[in-house]
């Protein structure tokens, strides 16, 4: 059986001095674009879209080794802080093995997600 490891991080970036949503969108978009340009990861703003001074983001990646996936997610969190020059004030990282959850017949999908 193959190994499917999923790594997910939810993190909050403080954006001091941000005075408008337009400025925030520019900063968050630049952060997401720079991370995506160098790493195979999905990243999105997931909360506080209407708050000027902070952004709640989540990113995810998959692999076959929990240690590699966990290390990659943690390094990306450090990189996010460097890129945005804004402190990451909160973070939650989860690395899970999904191999057993995905076992089943090929092409089988649940009726509900």
Is residue 81 a part of any domain in this protein? yes
Residues 6+ apart with CB under 8 A from 106: none
The answer to whether residue 62 sits within a structural domain is yes
Query: Is 93 part of a structural domain of the chain?
Result: yes
Quote the pTM value.
Answer: 0.80
CB 69: neighbour CB atoms within 10 A?
Answer: 22
Query: For residue 80, what pLDDT band results from cuts at 50, 70 and 90?
Result: confident
Gyration radius from the chain CA atoms: 16
CATH code of residue 23? 3.30.70.1120
Q: Model confidence over 91-107: pLDDT tens digits?
A: 999 999 887 666 655 55
The answer to the question of residue 109 being in a domain is no
Q: What is the pLDDT of residues 15-69, one digit of tens each?
A: 888 889 999 999 899 889 998 888 889 999 999 889 988 999 999 999 999 999 9
Q: What is the distance between the alpha carbons of residues 77 and 79, in angstroms, rounded to a whole number? A: 5
Q: How many other C-beta atoms are found inside a 10 Å radius of the C-beta of residue 73?
A: 21
Question: What's the total number of domains in the chain?
Answer: 1
3-state DSSP assignment of residue 72: helix
């Amino acid at each position: 059986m193959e190994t499917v490891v999923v790594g997910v991080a939810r993190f909050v970036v403080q954006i001091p001095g941000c005075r408008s949503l337009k400025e925030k969108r520019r900063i968050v978009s630049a952060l997401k674009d720079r991370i995506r340009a160098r790493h195979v990861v999905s990243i999105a703003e997931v909360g506080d879209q209407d708050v000027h001074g902070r952004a709640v983001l989540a990113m995810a990646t998959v692999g076959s080794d929990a240690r590699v996936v966990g290390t990659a997610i943690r390094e990306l969190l450090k990189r996010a802080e460097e890129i945005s020059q804004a402190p990451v004030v909160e973070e939650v990282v989860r690395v899970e093995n999904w191999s057993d959850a995905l076992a089943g017949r090929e092409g089988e999908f649940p009726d509900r997600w």
